[in-house]
Amino acid sequence: MGEQQHVKFPQEVIDEYAALGVDLPALFSAGHLGNRMGVQILEASAERVVGTMPVEGNTQPYGLLHGGASAVLAETLGSVGAMLHGGTSRIAVGVDLNCTHHRGVRSGLVTGVATPLHRGRSTATYEIVITDEQDRRVCSARLTCMLREITPKDADALPGTDRPNGS
């Protein structure tokens, strides 16, 4: 669950990160929470990030997809897009997430697609549309991330890096 081997990255982005000794799929994975929830990132670029998540295991007491689960999927996808926009010298930190839940889902897979609304030097905002297997909109979300320079402490914490002590 949550493995990222099949993520499609633009070749120039893969090359840029590889030159720094960074394993791009590991860096832009769904993370521990996303993995626990079964998030799969299928496609990733600064222009579009696509991922899926199972409804099973991510429901509230009424058996419907939990709104917080939709928020996790949305923030994961929007953050990946913002990180790719920020490039190798900046990290994206979520500062605002807004989710509107349109319909309940009881089973199957939901798919999220994140596309940029704004990509600046210090912030990036993405719209994330989550749909069910019948392509009906389940949730509309908007995520704004602050982009800040990577510090040595940040670099030490990045997964998939060969850089000792953030160098």
Q: Does residue 47 carry a catalytic annotation?
A: no
Q: Which residues pair with 147 in a beta bridge?
A: 92
Residue 137 in tokens: 């909109």
For 25, what's the count of Cα atoms within 13 Å in the CB-facing half-sphere? 12
Taking residue 135's Cβ as centre, other Cβ atoms within 10 Å add up to 7
User: Each residue of 44-55: b (16+ CB within 10 Å) or e?
Assistant: bebebbbbbbbb
List 47, 56, 75, 127, catalytic entry: 75
| Residues that are catalytic | 75
